A and B are shown apart, each in its own frame.
Chain A
Amino acid sequence: MTIGYPFDPDAVMQNKRTLRRQLLAGGPFLDKKVALLSGSTIGEIKNILELFLLDAGIRPQFHEGDYGRYYEEIVFDDGTLASFAPDVLYLNTSLHSLGALPEAGEDEPEAGRRLEAAKERHTAVFESAQRLGCPVIVNNYDLPRIRVMGNYEGVAGKVRYVRRLNEWIAGFVGEHPGFYLNDLEYISSFYGIDRWSDPSSYNSWKYAVSPSAIPYLAHSIACIVKSIFGRNKKALMLDLDNTLWHGIIGDDGVEGIRLGIESPEGIAHAELQSYAKELSRIGVILGVCSKNEEDAAKSGFSHPSSVLKLEDFASFRANWEPKHLNLLESARQLNIGADSLVFVDDNPAEREIVRQADAGIAVPELAFPERYAETVSGAGYFEVTSLSEDDRKRAEMYRQNAMRDAQQNSFVDYGDYLRSLEMKGYFGDFTEGQLERVTQLANKSNQFNLTTRRYQVSEMAQRAADPNVITLYGRLEDRFGDNGLVSEVIGVVNGDNLDIELWLMSCRVLKRGMENAMFDRLIARCLARGIRTVTGYYYKTAKNAMVANFYGTLGFEKISGEDADSVWLYRIPEGRTDQNIYIEVHDEQTGNPG
């Protein structure tokens, strides 16, 4: 019994206690406070949401609002919500909580006034929610089941009204960082609105959603929450034969496989390829994991209808080793956790082997090729809650890394290699335009992260504005391209000492000397303020062992702590010289004079 996608909603509902017990035995978990406010009955939504969050590695502590009182509780918060201090807030509204809909025959000015009133009411709720300073997940509205005027409802009736309001909500969310849309209109339509809202469930128990549909609602909310807190998957690993094309490339050859519009099978596999290609455009890493001779495997991508090309893959493993070993090797090579992988394979036996390896790799159960993309997208592995320029470029960056690796092999001296990269570093204080990106990076960096402290955008804004705080970002370019914003440091000034609250770096620029360049820029800022000492903290997690001795390598002295948590002190020496050798330094803003 699992809740892996695609799940059986009734089985999830009926086995929730068993599932909860099993999931809680796992871990480690990220603890998060989740406030749920009610437009209609929450009860079971909370219980099932807990299961999906646990499955994503998040252990929620809930605050549940009183039945139907979301408006009062958020707009006239008596301090209850603020003192709970949620990490994320969800407003469980639906068509039932929307209030009176336009009546058939209502004229346009009246409908317009009604819509404006609804927008005002929503603005009041959203702006009050914003004051809590945490991410806010809002629903749009499911379409009405009954159409008095039939299709004309979509022109000038209830259906049109709901759509206009939904359009306005989407606009609000798009313009307000920290707001996230749970697309109830889509989810209910996909499920079937006749079954989504079951009148007897609402009339008897005030469930706006029928019990069988609750897991889909909870799953959707959980996808958003896990994405906000950096628990998305990062890479899509694909089998080849009968997954990316129809046929066996080793037997049939490029001419023999079916791909593209010539055949029904070919269309299905080309659609999966298009889906993967689009994922790579939003920063999902693509990899191949196939039992094949490498040359034959690669030849498949020369098929004229192949949407994917060899250069789309950051990892390509075609051999006869067991697939789970190849996947672990790909994860190591890409510098990401195995639990960041999703594996798609048409062969049930291969899927089972990878599942049994128990490395946290997601392996969706698949039925028909024409549904593969739908299943993988429905699972929400790669749920997008914000899309930065770096996301768009990420796939490109990983490809560049593969090229750098190739170049590294041609140098004997590592220093020569680093020099050949012609690296340029850009450093500065966090700017307002970067807040979303620095927050996103802080919340998803696990390995090169000394304190694994997580932030909300509002907290980041506060750090950036505080004259007693030094913020520093680092961006790295080299001859193969722009790696984007890859490192962040936040330090709090205490007299003539700086306490380092956050130091992290993206693993894709490991061993490039970027950490030394960051350290130099930090020290320059310290000296400008008369700071004499820097205190660093290492907090051990399951994933950050690689930086346990990081401060030691920079020249800090350990003043307390052993293997686990430790505290380090750096006394800035007179006439200190820069540690960075290989990166050309560009200061984009000078340190905040404070």
Chain B
Amino acid sequence: MSRQEILDNVAEVIRGIFDDESLEITDETTAADVEDWDSLEQINILVACERRFKVKFSVGDVEGLRNVGELVDLVASRL
């Protein structure tokens, strides 16, 4: 899976969770850019990504994630 495909998939997960098809998700998107993206939703996004890509994250993996791009890189490193 290419990096772009991973980003597209992550974007789809996030749009689904927030029930908002119009959300623009890029590498630079952070929690602060999306209304209602709090720590609870962060967990949902990570769990959803684990399911979608069939990978498993550890606590250390996800602690320091700063934006969507870093999440994409994390997924890519596991595939």
Whether B47 and A44, one on each chain, are in contact in the complex, defined by CB atoms closer than 8 angstroms, is no
Any A CB within 8 A of the CB of B67? no
Given contact pairs A44-B40, A200-B59, A203-B59, A10 touches B51 in the complex (Cβ within 8 A): yes
B48: chain A residues at CB < 8 Å are: 10, 13-14
Whether A43 and B40, one on each chain, are in contact in the complex, defined by CB atoms closer than 8 angstroms, is yes
Whether A211 and B17, one on each chain, are in contact in the complex, defined by CB atoms closer than 8 angstroms, is no
Any A CB within 8 A of the CB of B30? no
Q: Mark A100-131, 1 if CB is under 8 A from B, else 0.
A: 00000000000000000000000000000000
Give the residues from 42 to 79 in chain B that come closer than 8 angstroms, CB to CB, to chain A.
43-44, 47-48, 51, 58-59, 63
Whether B16 and A15, one on each chain, are in contact in the complex, defined by CB atoms closer than 8 angstroms, is yes
Any A CB within 8 A of the CB of B28? no
Instruction: Report the separation of the CA atoms of residues A10 and B16 in the bound assembly, to the nearest whole angstrom.
Output: 12
**B44 touches which one: A13, A21, A203, A204 (CB < 8 A)?**
A13
B18: chain A residues at CB < 8 Å are: 17
**B58 touches which one: A14, A15, A17, A200 (CB < 8 A)?**
A200
Closest beta carbon of chain B to A479's beta carbon, Å = 59
Given contact pairs A13-B47, A211-B43, A211-B44, A204 touches B19 in the complex (Cβ within 8 A): no
B44: chain A residues at CB < 8 Å are: 13-14, 44, 211
Smallest CB gap from B58: residue in A: A200
Given contact pairs A200-B58, A200-B59, A203-B59, A14 touches B17 in the complex (Cβ within 8 A): yes
Whether B43 and A205, one on each chain, are in contact in the complex, defined by CB atoms closer than 8 angstroms, is yes
Any B CB within 8 A of the CB of A212? yes
Smallest CB gap from A22: residue in B: B19
Instruction: Report the separation of the CA atoms of residues A200 and B44 in the bound assembly, to the nearest whole angstrom.
Output: 14
Give the residues from 191 to 217 in chain A that come closer than 8 angstroms, CB to CB, to chain B.
200-201, 203-205, 207, 211-212
Closest beta carbon of chain A to B77's beta carbon, Å = 18
Instruction: Report the separation of the CA atoms of residues A14 and B10 in the bound assembly, to the nearest whole angstrom.
Output: 12
Any A CB within 8 A of the CB of B39? yes
**A21 touches which one: B17, B19, B58, B63 (CB < 8 A)?**
B19
Any A CB within 8 A of the CB of B6? no
B51: chain A residues at CB < 8 Å are: 10
Any A CB within 8 A of the CB of B25? no
Given contact pairs A10-B48, A200-B58, A200-B59, A17 touches B17 in the complex (Cβ within 8 A): yes
Closest beta carbon of chain B to A51's beta carbon, Å = 13
Instruction: Report the separation of the CA atoms of residues A16 and B39 in the bound assembly, to the nearest whole angstrom.
Output: 16
**B39 touches which one: A201, A203, A205 (CB < 8 A)?**
A205
A319: chain B residues at CB < 8 Å are: none
Instruction: Report the separation of the CA atoms of residues A205 and B47 in the bound assembly, to the nearest whole angstrom.
Output: 13
Any B CB within 8 A of the CB of A189? no
**B47 touches which one: A16, A43, A203, A211 (CB < 8 A)?**
A211
A211: chain B residues at CB < 8 Å are: 43-44, 47
Give the residues from 9 to 31 in chain B that come closer than 8 angstroms, CB to CB, to chain A.
13, 16-19
Closest beta carbon of chain A to B7's beta carbon, Å = 18
B19: chain A residues at CB < 8 Å are: 15, 17-18, 21
Instruction: Report the separation of the CA atoms of residues A17 and B14 in the bound assembly, to the nearest whole angstrom.
Output: 12
| A-B contacts, 17 listed (Cβ < 8 Å) | A10-B47, A10-B51, A13-B48, A14-B13, A14-B44, A15-B16, A15-B17, A15-B19, A16-B17, A17-B18, A17-B19, A18-B19, A44-B40, A200-B59, A201-B43, A204-B63, A211-B43
9 closest cross-chain pairs (CB), A and B: A17-B19, A18-B19, A43-B40, A211-B47, A14-B48, A200-B59, A10-B51, A204-B59, A14-B17
- Taking Cβ atoms with an 8 Å cutoff, the residues of A that contact B are 10, 13-18, 21, 43-44, 200-201, 203-205, 207, 211-212
